[in-house]
Chains A and B, each alone.
Chain A
């Protein structure tokens, strides 16, 4: 690697002392970060992967976390496959990323074909190696977008951009223990992994399919101090008995809109912790953190450039130009990721109200009621204010009279005992909405559900029409 270029992930990790207590803790296995410097989980010499385009596909993200440290600087390109990626999408992604090597922890035959069959096994166990080859490539990291339907796009990042928002590298913070509900194979989770790896501290990862109560027990036993997840994750945490985390100092929400009711609930439950919500996207990178405990975004954060990030609102959606953003989409015939000035359209709709910007939701999620637009999140925020409501999902239902109407699925919390009557609750929620919203935004129908589907990404599953 020519002088002056940024170090690889392993070299960055090794550029300072690593405290022996710092660990990566998975569901079944754990490793010391220090052992990553001269350890391998790959069943082939790293030199064989030099300059290759690698598809990294493991059953559990723990194995991916270990492999990434080895592959960065060696491979030309790493496609990081998240768990919920439908196998049917693989051939197109392999073609677009020109993948020539599969790195996997699976022994089963693959459900797709590589043009040049190369397959290297990886595991979750580090074996010490005598000599680690020097980094030779500025590796491209291809992270998949979490679109609602269809083939995901691959956003091309490099390590410099991915780690641009991390402060205080390799400083040892003895009591810094990160935990995350995310899959580290997606942008948001990867940020937490890199933060723990390079920013000091340890990290506790959830196992695939590990129930939240079990994960909470492990987090508590590991004395987690910093915990990150989506608002939907956090709502489920609040619904879990014995959810105390005595060592928690920072609760971080991202990936969905954090409403005031949830922020307040978290503050009540974890009075000793700072409650922050952050905004990042696979395309735009880490954009900002809001740490004043209020929903929405202070004007300054958006109107003034900071740390290489500029923002503006055009046609209602947030546009970001950032040194930490993705470089482009991988593959031929892909739409440009940025406009001519280098801004990414996040598709997230912001509106100025009461001296702050508020997220109204996704441009694509808009419900059109007889020509009047409704953002589901705007209605959900009102419904969620009801003390007996845990969470809600607002969506469009086709209607012969207005094209669409707004309908709401509502999940009640444990304050709604057996004596709570659905009819009364419905009336109270409708009253709440009617007092806060124009008529067309008030749900036509409220259904009480026992579960709301949350995707692997930790976000409420929204099926757009």
Chain B
């Protein structure tokens, strides 16, 4: 599974658990419009950290908070390298 697929699959799972519906997941989708709330993102980040062994948004890491889904995915792709 690619990082992108992993991110998407976790987003779908969080949304399902939180009983939220997601907007069509395109690269230029603004994250805040995707349908997840801040708790949803928090859960998503925690699970991706477990899967990928990295929290690119942690204090000390260089990544700023992403605006779009594309940036969000890319941050994880970069961090994994």
Residues of A in contact with B (beta carbons under 8 Å apart): 369-370, 397-402, 405, 407, 430, 434, 439-440, 444-445, 447
Contact = CB atoms under 8 A, between A and B. Distances in A.
Contact of A400 (B17, B39, B55): B55
Given A370-B39, A405-B42, A440-B39, A400 B50 contact: no
Interface residues of B, number: 16
Among A397, A400, A440, max chain B CB count under 10 A is at A400
B46 A445 contact: yes
B18 A369 contact: no
Contacts of A430: 17
A407 to B, nearest CB: 7
B39 A369 contact: yes
29 contacts: A369-B39, A370-B39, A370-B42, A397-B46, A398-B59, A399-B42, A399-B46, A400-B45, A400-B55, A400-B57, A400-B58, A401-B42, A401-B57, A402-B39, A402-B41, A402-B42, A405-B42, A405-B43, A405-B46, A407-B46, A439-B18, A439-B39, A444-B42, A444-B43, A445-B43, A445-B46, A445-B47, A445-B50, A447-B50
Interface of B: 17-18, 38-39, 41-43, 45-47, 50, 55, 57-59, 65
Among A407, A444, A447, max chain B CB count under 10 A is at A444
B46 A444 contact: yes
Top 4 A-B pairs, shortest CB-CB distance: A400-B57, A401-B42, A402-B42, A444-B46
Given A369-B42, A400-B58, A445-B46, 12 more contacts: A369-B39, A370-B38, A398-B55, A399-B42, A399-B45, A400-B55, A400-B57, A402-B39, A405-B46, A430-B17, A440-B39, A444-B42
Contacts, number: 46
B34 to A, nearest CB: 13
A399 B40 CA distance: 12
* Chain B interface helix/strand/loop/mixed: helix
A417 to B, nearest CB: 25
A434 B17 contact: yes
Nearest to B38: A401
Given A401-B38, A401-B42, A444 B58 contact: no
A400 B45 CA distance: 8
B31 to A, nearest CB: 10
A401 B46 CA distance: 10
A262 to B, nearest CB: 28
A430 B19 CA distance: 13
Contacts of B17: 430, 434
A303 B43 CA distance: 41
A400 B38 contact: no
Contacts of A407: 46
B41 A401 contact: yes
A402 B36 CA distance: 13
B38 A444 contact: no
A113 to B, nearest CB: 40
B39 to A, nearest CB: 6
Nearest to A447: B50
A393 B17 CA distance: 22
A445 B55 CA distance: 14
A430 B14 CA distance: 12
Nearest to B51: A445
Contacts of B45: 399-401
Nearest to A403: B42
Among A370, A402, A405, A440, max chain B CB count under 10 A is at A402
A407 B42 CA distance: 11
Contacts of B39: 369-370, 401-402, 439-440
Contacts of A445: 43, 46-47, 50
Contacts of B18: 439
A400 B59 CA distance: 8
A384 B11 CA distance: 28
Given A370-B38, A439-B18, A400 B43 contact: no
